[in-house]
Amino acid sequence: MMNRRTLNRTAAALAVVAWIGLPGAVLAADEAPDALIKRLSTDVLETVRADKSIKSGDVDKIMALVDKTILPHVNFRRMTAAAVGPAWRKATPEQQKRLQDEFKSLLVRTYSGALSQVTDQTIVVKPLRAAPDDKDVLVRTEIRGRGDPVQLDYRLEKTPGDGAGWKVYNLNVLGVWLVETYRNQFAQEINAAADGQGIDRLIESLSARNKANAGGK
């Protein structure tokens, strides 16, 4: 039976993979945010159940899917910038790209193992409380399976232009926002570095964590 901690990690894993993109996740500009989350969540559950290698936590295959879809339904730049905090504005374009790449890898590798726990979970999307012209909304959901349901909420923004549509930029599991959690961790790394070297120290730290996680798979 799936315990509470494992169910929480599974909820976060499903959300992270939904952010980063599985096949068929092309966004419609006029798709409602709650409908988008319902569709992506359902796609994740069905894909994981049908693919033995993904269900077993095959990080290479998950990462290949991530790279292939080019993050179509997440504002990953905004998410990374928010997690890094004020130091992001001082980073060079090359450093910002490295941070995004390493953060993406960290999220996938951290939560990929929990995908093996996906069995009969279902996603329930709660009624959306938003005005028709809102550009920033909160979509509340629950993952239901064995045991108590797990709260899983998404922050989305409406983007204009060629990539118009709703994009996720933060995630809340049981009252804890993922971006804020990483911001605290990243701030410690940045503040512990010598003057002007905080971004490089953070990149090195993320890279080392990803290499360690890869070696443990």
Output the six-digit token pair for 37. Answer: 């989350």
- Whether 45 has a pLDDT exceeding 50, the answer reads yes
Mean pLDDT of 73-85: 90
pLDDT at 105: 83
Domains held by the chain: number: 1
Answer whether residue 214 shows pLDDT above 90. no
Calculate the CA 59 to chain-centre distance: 15
Contact status, residue 123 vs residue 143, Cβ threshold 8 Å = yes
- Give residue 38's pLDDT: 87
Q: Give 132 or 21, the one with higher predicted confidence.
A: 132
Tokens 């990374």 correspond to what residue?
80
| Residue whose pair of structure tokens reads 């399976």 in the numeric block | 145
* Tokens representing residue 202 in the block: 């953070």
- The pLDDT value recorded for residue 8 is 60
Rounded-to-10 torsion of CA 50, 51, 52, 55: -90
Is the pLDDT confidence value at 43 over 90?
A: no
- Write out pLDDT tens, residues 184-208: 999 998 988 767 789 999 999 999 9
Q: How far apart are the first and last CA of the chain?
A: 23
And the tokens for 64? 């290949």
Share of the chain above pLDDT 90, in %: 31
Domain containing residue 192: 4-215
Query: Cβ of 3: how many Cβ atoms within 10 Å?
Result: 10
Burial status of residue 201 (CB atoms within 10 A of its CB: 0-12, 13-18, 19 or more): middle
Q: Quick one: pLDDT at residue 104? A: 85
Beta bridge partners of 139: 154
Q: What is the pLDDT of residues 98-142, one digit of tens each?
A: 999 999 888 877 666 566 566 677 888 999 999 888 999 999 998
- The CATH number of the domain where 185 resides is what? 3.10.450.710
The pLDDT of residue 152 is 85
